[in-house]
Amino acid sequence: MNNQAWLDQVKEEIIDPAREICDPHHHLWERNGSTYLLHEMLADIYTGHKVISTVFVECAAMFNADLPTEYAPVGETEFVQGIAAMSSSGQYGDCRVAAGIVSFADLTLGESVRPVLRAHVNASPNRFKGIRHAAGWHNIDLIKNSHSNPVEHQFLQDDFQAGFLVLADMNLSFDAWCYHTQIPDFVELARNNPEVNIILNHFAGPIGIGPYTGKLDDVFRHWRDEIAALIDCHNVSFKLGGINMKRNGFDWHLRDRPPTSDELVERTAPYYEFCIDHFGAERCMFESNFPVDKDSVSYSILWNAFKKMAMTRSEEEKGLLFKGTAERVYSLS
């Protein structure tokens, strides 16, 4: 459903419009009546903030139906490589959409995932950076499992870990997506693989629905105590965002009007502040998670909220949070 009219009810002056931004997490798709491709992405980007580049993250879009199942996700890399080439033509403005590409490969293939990863590299030798094998799992149906159909304790399965070792061997990154209830498993994975460049998505998915409804403060305290174990895992970076999804429980999408940037800061800032304070700006990057978070907030309001949360940080920290960390982690510059 197109909610643009609802989002347009809230407008704000753009804060610090000259600050360069790399948005390190968004999707592109055309499925189930929903279209979010280059033109839709640029319509959000060109609303006032200076986004100069982005990183695409897999969403099971445009898998190649003519390839064997394990190779089908290479179609998504081919698809995004084409969109990135369009953006790089300069005909669509200064932003370089999908300057980095994070695709899917099934790590449960173990060593056999290596030729699949090579196929991704061949499909995008200049932009493919690594993979995400989403592992979000919960035993309650309302809390939907990730689209990759993970099993319980996915990160700790022997076949998954065998495939994970191939990433290190090929110098590819791993984007991790799980729920806050799975943080101990993720910590074990990160500690056991210090040579792998790991990027934790969406604060490890704090859940605010189902049995967690009305318990946002309890969830935050549990999350805070668990996530702190990553302080010495210097191979782990953090994407700060993706916390305005329906499953996070803030219920922005149920309101008559979308949130202002001040409201976003008031409700969600503790997550951002904890990560920056404990892990450092050099390991943190703001992310939009569009169009998923667009169910709750517009692009311009979201980045205004990020800028307000970073207002008291040094200029060096701001540079890292908005661009520098993402460029380093994904080797974009």
Q: Which long-range contacts does 114-118 make (Cβ < 8 Å, 24+ apart)?
A: 114/166, 114/169, 114/170, 116/70, 116/71, 116/73, 116/74, 117/166, 117/167, 117/170, 117/172, 118/170
Neighbouring CB atoms inside 10 A of 331's CB total: 12
Q: 318: domain CATH number?
A: 3.20.20.140
pLDDT at 1: 53
Running DSSP on this structure, what letter comes out for residue 322?
A: I
- Provide the β-strand partners of residue 174: 131, 198
Q: What is the dihedral of CA 6, 8, 9, 13, to 10 degrees?
A: 150
Our count of domains for the chain comes to 1
Full DSSP string of 236-270: EEEEE----SGGGS--GGGSSSPPPHHHHHHHHHH
Q: How confident is the chain (333 residues) per 10-residue block, as mean pLDDT?
A: 90 98 98 94 98 98 97 98 98 98 98 98 98 96 92 96 97 98 98 97 98 97 98 98 97 97 98 98 98 97 98 98 98 89
- Provide the β-strand partners of residue 21: 51
Q: Is the pTM of this model over 0.85?
A: yes
Token reading at 221? 């305290």
Side chain identity at residue 237, one-letter code: S
3-state secondary structure of 56: strand
Q: Which residue has the tokens 């030729």?
A: 115
Domain coverage including residue 103: 4-11+19-329
pLDDT at 32: 86
pLDDT at 167: 97
Contact 185, 150 (CB under 8 A): no
Helices (H), ranges, the chain? 4-7, 38-45, 74-88, 114-123, 158-169, 183-192, 216-227, 261-279, 299-309, 315-319, 325-329
Full DSSP string of 104-117: ---GGGGGGGHHHH
